[in-house]
Chain A
Amino acid sequence: MEELETDILVLGSGGAGLMAALYALDTNPKLNVTLATKGLFGKSGCTRMVQGGYNVVLSPNDSTERHFQDTMLGGHWLNNHILARTLVEDAPVVVHEMWEKAGVRFARDKDGNLHQKGLAGQTFDRTVHHGDLTGIEIVSRLSEQVRARGTRILEECRAVDLLVEDGEVFGAVLLPARTGEFIAVRAKITVLATGGSAPIFSVSSASLEKCGDGYALAYRAGATLMDMEMSQFHPTGLVAPGSRFNGSVIAEELRAAGGHLYNSENERFMGKYNPRFEKATRDEVSRGCYFEIAAGRGTPNGGVWLDVSHLGAKAVEELFPGMLERCFLIGRDLRKEPIEVCPTSHFEMGGVRIDRDCHSDLPGLLVAGEDSGGVHGANRLGGNGVADSTVYGRRAGLRAANTALERRMKKVDPSRSISAALSPWERTGGEQPQALHAEFRDVMWTKVGVVRDATAMSEAIDALQALQQRIDHVSVTGSRAYNLTWQSALDVRNAVTVGQMVAQCALIRQESRGAHYRSDFSSEDPSWTKNLTVRLESGQMRFGEQEVVREPAAAR
């Protein structure tokens, strides 16, 4: 087995991973930095898919306090106050540095100032953007810079497990898809930035390879995770039955710009649920759509109608070229007719518990971006996701650079992780992992989805338990190199672990708050203004509670 040593191992090449690598190297160019990523470098993950933009306070008429309040209100005050404060205060610095350091271009107005637009849940138009392809610009430019600095890049190379001894992290076991042969990487600091778990639900907006790897890796390593019940659904996923295209996001700006949602009775229904109509936050609009569909007022394919044709063909072409093209693929013309949309799993607000410098509970492990929890509380505002990834990716990089040389390296035996990953090869005639994965995602969607109740979630938990056991009987064939079925077997193992965390936490939280809606506890309960935690203890999933982290009085 190949072995590598590196000062800093970054897992993931989305916004958080790229920023971590970039800032670690720029802080100390002598450091040896290795970046491993499950897909192609800079091409996998979700930052690349950001359409809306980046929330940042730039105008003298806006303020970080206002951005903070919007973020906290959006998150229903479940956010870690210090993390949310750090997000809004770092964002202006990071946007400026991305422009200067990496050449990221954001759209400008006629006076040459960065153009800012508004997204739902904001009291000020503070979203900078690059048309509706903001993520491509950010990730492409950051990727160039990371490549240019000579970083060792291991692409199409997933992390199977973190290497842990006595509660400290010393690197990871990697599996390059191209060879199928494991690599043990010893590192002084490991930065976990693999992204979220939206595709644990069968309708999802995220890139297809995502499955909550980071959460599962951190959980198996013994880290504490929090807020895992807070799964965000974007209200307008494109309905494309039977296609992998199903669930792709139709951008929030369509609603922000004046798009209307209609049910099958041609009723603009959102007014029944929220006085802000379609401009309400994602959780509220998602539920509105869900209730209409559940009441039998949905479209033929189980969605609702989104219409922007009244804005005029020219405006639609100018404002939403990417979305226009996206709709053409399913044979619909956004300029002229409504399109079918339904809620789609989009983001996980929960994740590894961190402090403002990205420390997890485990020495040697920093966590940034969607792998971490606490920044967004019960609901993330559009535009705060890429801000989170880049702000905390940068912080993780700075922290890693400043502490890596103080830490030792240690050789940890990877054999248990490797045998677990190889176990599907030891059987023949077992279940097909991808079929199991699909079954799992259906359980999550139907029983732990947009609207939850105790009965359905208890059924889900039993079903997940059974799936967990069936994972031990999957088998794969062929060669190890680029074996998609084997990769899926490793995916579903992680995904079911994450699904169990989500379902169990959702059952415990007996209230509705933000993205978490319980039909059997349909209102917000102030006594639940606390975070649920989950960690692995003595081989069991243990749940706990913690007080929301608030700012010290002197800092307010």
Chain B
Amino acid sequence: MAHARIDRFEAGRRWTQDYELELPPQSTVLDLLFEIQQRLDQTLSFRYSCRNWMCGSCGMLVNGREQLACRTRLADLDAPAVQIAPLRNLPVVKDLIVDLAPFFEKWNAVGVAFPDQSQKPIANPQKTQQTIDAHSDCITCGLCYSACDVLSHASDFLGPAALNRAYTLQLDARDVAHQKRGATIAADGGVFRCHSMGQCTNVCPKGLDPLAAIAALKRGA
């Protein structure tokens, strides 16, 4: 028998709701949510899409830690009850659904800029490429943004995901906005707000290390 405690939110009202249900042993938190929604409570809302930790739609707090619901097995939680809540540092829209607009506004603020070139492709040196690779494959799930202690009291901080992306762009020889982005990175809300607590790196479901990216940007700023 699984016991779930879920933070609910709708139209300005907040409450916690408990559910109990039987589930197959392989079940993930996403399975749990679907079963609750379909069998017990049609009003529960949550996000999902790929169920393979590729889209990053189902980020939430599971027993206080940022997780993707599709990647988290109930059997691995080792707790009598599973507590589920929306991500932190982002406005809650309904139940477990948060508004990702602030996250993407900051992503956009570090600006991508690739000129349309018809000539021979510019390739990065292999070593640089390896560094870029190590910081790529972000799925913009927002887990690092939620886990960031700085963002919890300084909402203008660009945050780990945007800065990690900025790092890959600053290294990329094809990009043409290094100078402008460099100013954004060094300004208020940029890298120097980071206190190097490393929660971003701890929760990344893709094994990325935004903390290292921010440290490298600080050295270069």
B70, A244: Cβ atoms under 8 Å?
yes
B126, A330: Cβ atoms under 8 Å?
no
Query: CB within 8 A of B26: which of A44, A240, A248?
Result: A240
Contacts of A99 in B (CB 8 A): 121, 174
B112, A48: Cβ atoms under 8 Å?
no
Separation in Å of the B134 CB from the closest CB of chain A?
12
Separation in Å of the A155 CB from the closest CB of chain B?
9
Separation in Å of the A480 CB from the closest CB of chain B?
11
A63 within 8 Å of B (CB atoms)? no
| A-contact bits for B70-97, CB 8 A (1 contact / 0 none) | 1101000000000000000000011101
Contacts of B56 in A (CB 8 A): 43
Alpha-carbon distance between A42 and B48 when the two chains are bound, in angstroms: 13
Within 8 A of B (CB), among A128-150: 131, 133, 135-137, 140-141, 144-145, 147-148
Tell which of B44, B136, B175 has the most Cβ of chain A within 10 Å. Answer: B136
Contacts of B108 in A (CB 8 A): 144, 147-148
Within 8 A of B (CB), among A69-104: 96-97, 99-103
Alpha-carbon distance between A477 and B28 when the two chains are bound, in angstroms: 26
A136, B48: Cβ atoms under 8 Å?
no
Contacts of A429 in B (CB 8 A): none
Contacts of B126 in A (CB 8 A): 108, 110, 112
Separation in Å of the B101 CB from the closest CB of chain A?
10
B121, A136: Cβ atoms under 8 Å?
no
Query: CB within 8 A of A40: which of B27, B34, B47, B136?
Result: B47
A40, B26: Cβ atoms under 8 Å?
no
A103, B172: Cβ atoms under 8 Å?
yes
A482, B94: Cβ atoms under 8 Å?
yes
A485 within 8 Å of B (CB atoms)? yes
A479, B10: Cβ atoms under 8 Å?
yes
B52, A481: Cβ atoms under 8 Å?
no
A contact patch SS: loop
Known contacts: A102-B114, A145-B112, A477-B43. The answer to whether A243 contacts B26 by CB under 8 A is yes
Query: CB within 8 A of B117: which of A42, A45, A100, A105?
Result: A100
B7 within 8 Å of A (CB atoms)? no
Query: CB within 8 A of A248: which of B52, B55, B174?
Result: B52
B24, A112: Cβ atoms under 8 Å?
no
B17 within 8 Å of A (CB atoms)? no
A248, B97: Cβ atoms under 8 Å?
no
B24, A435: Cβ atoms under 8 Å?
no
Alpha-carbon distance between A434 and B137 when the two chains are bound, in angstroms: 33
B111, A148: Cβ atoms under 8 Å?
yes
Alpha-carbon distance between A414 and B108 when the two chains are bound, in angstroms: 35
B129 within 8 Å of A (CB atoms)? yes
B26, A105: Cβ atoms under 8 Å?
no
B137, A137: Cβ atoms under 8 Å?
yes
B contact patch SS: loop
| A-contact bits for B9-50, CB 8 A (1 contact / 0 none) | 011000000000001101110110010011000111111111
A1 within 8 Å of B (CB atoms)? no
Contacts of A326 in B (CB 8 A): 52
Alpha-carbon distance between A284 and B39 when the two chains are bound, in angstroms: 39
A485, B50: Cβ atoms under 8 Å?
no
| B-contact bits for A45-61, CB 8 A (1 contact / 0 none) | 10011000000000000
Known contacts: A140-B138, A434-B38. The answer to whether A209 contacts B104 by CB under 8 A is no
Residue of chain B at shortest CB distance from A206: B50
| A-contact bits for B141-180, CB 8 A (1 contact / 0 none) | 0000000000000000000000000000100101100000
Separation in Å of the A139 CB from the closest CB of chain B?
9
A208, B24: Cβ atoms under 8 Å?
no
A329, B114: Cβ atoms under 8 Å?
no
A136, B57: Cβ atoms under 8 Å?
no
B132 within 8 Å of A (CB atoms)? yes
Contacts of B137 in A (CB 8 A): 131, 133, 136-137
B51 within 8 Å of A (CB atoms)? yes
A476 within 8 Å of B (CB atoms)? yes
Known contacts: A207-B49, A326-B52. The answer to whether A144 contacts B112 by CB under 8 A is yes
B140 within 8 Å of A (CB atoms)? yes
Separation in Å of the B123 CB from the closest CB of chain A?
5
Within 8 A of B (CB), among A434-489: 434-435, 476-479, 481-485
Alpha-carbon distance between A48 and B52 when the two chains are bound, in angstroms: 11
Known contacts: A208-B48, A242-B27. The answer to whether A48 contacts B114 by CB under 8 A is no
Query: CB within 8 A of B45: which of A112, A432, A483?
Result: A483
Contacts of A427 in B (CB 8 A): none
B49, A108: Cβ atoms under 8 Å?
no
Residue of chain B at shortest CB distance from A135: B54
| B-contact bits for A14-45, CB 8 A (1 contact / 0 none) | 00000000000010000000000001101111
Residue of chain A at shortest CB distance from B125: A112
Residue of chain B at shortest CB distance from A41: B104
A178 within 8 Å of B (CB atoms)? yes
Separation in Å of the A504 CB from the closest CB of chain B?
29
**Can you report 15 A-B residue pairs in the complex whose CB atoms are below 8 A from each other?**
A26-B116, A40-B49, A43-B56, A45-B49, A108-B129, A131-B137, A133-B54, A140-B139, A147-B104, A240-B26, A242-B31, A243-B26, A482-B95, A484-B45, A485-B42
Q: A45-B49, A147-B108, A244-B31 are in contact. List 17 more A-B contacts (CB 8 A).
A: A43-B57, A49-B52, A99-B174, A100-B116, A103-B114, A105-B133, A137-B137, A144-B108, A178-B93, A209-B48, A240-B26, A248-B51, A329-B71, A432-B38, A479-B11, A483-B45, A484-B37
A residues lining the B interface (CB < 8 Å): 26, 39-40, 42-45, 48-49, 96-97, 99-103, 105, 108, 110, 112, 131, 133, 135-137, 140-141, 144-145, 147-148, 178, 207-209, 240-245, 248, 326, 329-330, 432, 434-435, 476-479, 481-485
